[in-house]
């Protein structure tokens, strides 16, 4: 029977361990060695399955012991236990529990080659092995699997991958941006997934068994190159990335690569988080490669002239406004001077200018700022330059289409337009009727017949709809929102808004932020 050695000078720890073995008499009691030198003398006699070293052994002595003997005795587990960690060594937490301890007692460090042969093993290596590894990497990246050397070793043994804890991985974060529409991410998702899986595997991994390409969604991929299979330096990986970028660009995709340094699975999550931080704020305008540790300085340029853009929108010169936005933003993006924070600020300022223009032209906001444009598209629009410009362009085109289609003129249409243009003003039926050149009584009857609402009901509804949009989609102060919809008395506005939505303005904004 193979035995175990415990290297410790802590009698309390030793007695706890003895009791653990007494509770499981199927295993022989461990040989106790108070120092690494005495443990080595026992090791030399052979037939040792496990050496357990605790933290009472001086740090320098135990590090020298592990470094010298781990490779010299490949058939023996070397495990450190305690509250601290010993880098590069398997670890058991204290107090020790039987289940993890029994793993080492019941398994050999070296694989049993005669069990891993034949057609079954070949099928496993080709089919099941990559899938299981992909699940493990995904778990580590997402934080579902703790980045612990011992847990990774145990996972490796369960999927028949010996020495998984020592595997060398080169992580690469890939950001993908399409050059066409804002809606690119939720159309043809399966086709895009297959395209990138194939492209990244062929270029960055050279072969399917050279690593893993994991779809991280939100326009990101994680590529983990197995350095033990196909060794590759970060500089060589850069050349592979450039080849993938060139092929993707022919399909109107722009790829940005963030290359890490080789790590073991134990350090994978920490390095991945560092790559995420490195890529944060990058607007992904043009293909490129960034290495771990690089600095991307940005001087936060000023926004375009919002007063001029607002004037163009009020004059109905939507195409000119869109062209000016493009002319200002694109050179900044090409010179890598702007990040996602700047884009978000620009988007919020543009949105306020658009709301002002909608009111000026009397265009119902819900016809232009549709649920789709203000839902996922709105959230994603500040992640890249191209998505923001496409989002703005779609809104301006819809405003232009609406004004061109509103050529037919009736008293009710003129009244609705006047109301939308003056929601921040006092509105009476007499003033509205005078503006459309009919009597107030006739306008009231005509408006009710065509819309199903009285003038006062329509005014209240439009004010509350605009208030709800401004609360959920802009950063305007709540008092400023009240003024924008014609309420100078904030408590009265709060009461009316709660009557409309069931929530106060502050509660509504908080709920919208949670969604």
Band the pLDDT of 185: cuts 50, 70, 90. very low
* C-beta of residue 335 within 8 angstroms of C-beta of residue 342: no
pLDDT of residue 176: 87
> How far apart are alpha carbons 400 and 74 in whole angstroms?
75
pLDDT of residue 454: 92
Best mean pLDDT range from 6-20, 61-75, 86-100, 270-284:
6-20
> How far apart are alpha carbons 196 and 338 in whole angstroms?
27
> How far apart are alpha carbons 253 and 175 in whole angstroms?
10
| Mean pLDDT along residues 137-145 | 86
* C-beta of residue 462 within 8 angstroms of C-beta of residue 423: yes
213's tokens: 């390409």
pLDDT of residue 173: 95
| Mean pLDDT along residues 137-146 | 85
Least confident of 2-6, 85-89, 348-352, 467-471: 85-89
**Tens digit of pLDDT for each residue in 365-377?**
887 887 666 666 7
Least confident of 83-87, 310-314, 362-366: 83-87
* C-beta of residue 159 within 8 angstroms of C-beta of residue 240: no
464's tokens: 């509350």
- Please say if the pLDDT value at position 511 is more than 50: yes
| Mean pLDDT along residues 155-183 | 77
| Mean pLDDT along residues 61-70 | 86
Reduced 3-state DSSP string for 83-111:
CCCCCCCEEECCCCCHHHHHHHHHCCCCC
* C-beta of residue 298 within 8 angstroms of C-beta of residue 332: no
**Tens digit of pLDDT for each residue in 18-28?**
999 999 988 88
**Tens digit of pLDDT for each residue in 248-288?**
988 888 888 999 999 999 999 999 999 988 887 776 666 78
Cis status, amide bond into 95, omega within 30 of 0: yes
* DSSP per position, 96-154: --HHHHHHHHHS-SS--GGGS-HHHHHHIIIIIHHHHHHHHHHHHHHTSS---HHHHHH
Nearest to 262 by CA among 237, 294, 288: 237
| Mean pLDDT along residues 40-53 | 89
- Please say if the pLDDT value at position 170 is more than 90: yes
pLDDT of residue 376: 67
Average pLDDT of the chain?
83
Q: Which residue has the tokens 């199903």?
A: 452
> How far apart are alpha carbons 473 and 348 in whole angstroms?
8
pLDDT of residue 155: 76
Greater confidence, 90 or 409? 90
| Mean pLDDT along residues 482-500 | 92
Cα dihedral angle (148, 149, 155, 159), rounded to 10 degrees?
Answer: 150
- Please say if the pLDDT value at position 177 is more than 90: no
* C-beta of residue 384 within 8 angstroms of C-beta of residue 285: yes
| Mean pLDDT along residues 179-187 | 49
| Mean pLDDT along residues 466-476 | 88
| Mean pLDDT along residues 508-513 | 86
CA atoms 275, 277, 280, 282: torsion sign = negative
pLDDT of residue 485: 92
pLDDT of residue 241: 94
Query: CA–CA distance from 17 to each of 37, 54, 96 (Å)?
Result: 21, 11, 8
Q: Which residue has the tokens 């019941």?
A: 106
Nearest to 474 by CA among 309, 351, 374: 351
Percent of the chain at pLDDT above 90? 28
Measured in residues, the chain has a length of: 515
> How far apart are alpha carbons 75 and 111 in whole angstroms?
10
> How far apart are alpha carbons 368 and 396 in whole angstroms?
8
Greater confidence, 155 or 97? 97
Least confident of 296-305, 344-353, 487-496: 296-305
- Please say if the pLDDT value at position 515 is more than 70: no
pLDDT of residue 405: 74
- Please say if the pLDDT value at position 296 is more than 70: no
Nearest to 288 by CA among 330, 332, 326, 335: 335
Band the pLDDT of 47: cuts 50, 70, 90. confident
* C-beta of residue 177 within 8 angstroms of C-beta of residue 253: yes
- Please say if the pLDDT value at position 182 is more than 60: no
Least confident of 109-123, 208-222, 278-292, 423-437: 109-123
- Strand, helix or coil at 77? strand
Band the pLDDT of 129: cuts 50, 70, 90. low
Beta bridge partners of 225: 170, 211
Q: Which residue has the tokens 């704020």?
A: 281
pLDDT of residue 186: 44
Best mean pLDDT range from 40-44, 170-174, 285-289:
170-174
- Please say if the pLDDT value at position 458 is more than 90: yes
* C-beta of residue 90 within 8 angstroms of C-beta of residue 109: no
447's tokens: 């408006």
> How far apart are alpha carbons 457 and 508 in whole angstroms?
22
Greater confidence, 304 or 298? 304
> How far apart are alpha carbons 391 and 407 in whole angstroms?
26
Greater confidence, 488 or 89? 488
pLDDT of residue 259: 94
pLDDT of residue 91: 82
DSSP3 helix / strand / coil % (the chain, rounded to 5)? 55, 10, 30
pLDDT of residue 406: 66
| Mean pLDDT along residues 311-331 | 90
**Beta strand pairing status for 169-178 and 253-259?**
antiparallel
Nearest to 403 by CA among 444, 368, 430, 427: 368
| Mean pLDDT along residues 430-444 | 88
> How far apart are alpha carbons 163 and 77 in whole angstroms?
12
pLDDT of residue 184: 45
């Amino acid at each position: 029977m193979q035995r175990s050695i415990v290297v410790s000078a802590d009698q309390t720890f030793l007695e706890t361990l003895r009791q653990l073995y007494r509770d499981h008499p199927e295993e022989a009691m461990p040989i106790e060695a108070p120092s690494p030198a005495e443990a080595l003398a026992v090791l030399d006699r052979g037939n040792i399955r496990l050496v357990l070293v605790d933290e009472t052994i001086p740090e320098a002595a135990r590090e020298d012991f592990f470094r010298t003997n781990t490779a010299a005795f490949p058939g023996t587990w070397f495990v450190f236990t305690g509250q601290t960690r010993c880098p590069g060594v398997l670890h058991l937490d204290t107090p020790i529990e039987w289940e993890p301890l029994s793993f080492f007692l019941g398994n050999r460090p070296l694989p049993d080659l005669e069990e891993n042969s034949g057609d079954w093993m070949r099928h496993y290596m080709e089919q099941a092995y990559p899938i299981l590894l992909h699940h493990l990497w995904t778990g580590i990246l997402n934080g579902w699997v703790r980045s612990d050397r011992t847990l990774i070793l145990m996972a490796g043994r369960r999927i028949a991958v010996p020495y998984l804890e020592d595997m060398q991985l080169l992580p690469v974060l890939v950001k993908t941006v399409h050059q066409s529409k804002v809606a690119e991410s939720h159309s043809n998702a399966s086709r895009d997934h297959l395209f990138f899986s194939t492209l990244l595997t062929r270029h960055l991994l050279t072969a399917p068994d050279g690593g893993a390409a994991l779809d991280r969604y939100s326009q990101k991929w994680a590529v983990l190159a197995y350095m033990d299979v196909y060794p590759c330096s970060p500089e060589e990986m850069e050349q592979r990335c450039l080849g993938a970028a060139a092929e993707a660009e022919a399909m109107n995709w722009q790829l940005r690569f963030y290359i890490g340094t080789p790590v073991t699975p134990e350090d994978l999550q920490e390095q991945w988080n560092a790559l995420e931080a490195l890529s944060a704020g990058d607007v992904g305008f043009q293909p490129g490669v960034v290495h771990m540790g690089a600095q991307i300085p940005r001087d936060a340029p000023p926004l375009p002239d919002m007063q001029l853009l607002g004037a163009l929108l009020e004059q109905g010169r939507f195409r000119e406004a869109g062209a000016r936005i493009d002319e200002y933003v694109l050179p900044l993006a090409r010179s890598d001077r702007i990040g996602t924070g700047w884009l978000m600020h620009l988007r919020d300022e543009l949105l306020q200018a658009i709301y002002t223009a909608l009111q000026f032209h009397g265009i119902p906001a819900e016809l232009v700022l549709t649920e789709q444009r203000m839902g996922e598209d709105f959230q994603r629009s500040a992640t890249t330059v191209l998505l923001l410009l496409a989002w703005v362009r779609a809104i301006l085109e819809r405003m232009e289409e609406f004004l061109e289609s509103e050529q037919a003129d009736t008293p009710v249409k003129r009244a609705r337009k006047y109301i939308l243009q003056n929601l921040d003003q006092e509105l009476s039926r007499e003033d509205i009727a005078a503006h459309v050149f009919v009597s107030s009584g006739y306008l009231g009857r005509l408006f009710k017949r065509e819309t199903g609402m009285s003038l006062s009901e329509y005014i209240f509804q439009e004010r509350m709809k605009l208030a709800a949009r401004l609360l959920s989609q802009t950063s305007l102060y709540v008092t400023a929102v009240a003024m924008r919809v014609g309420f100078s008395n904030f408590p009265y506005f709060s009461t009316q808004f709660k009557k409309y939505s069931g929530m106060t303005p502050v509660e509504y904004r908080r709920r919208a932020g949670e969604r």
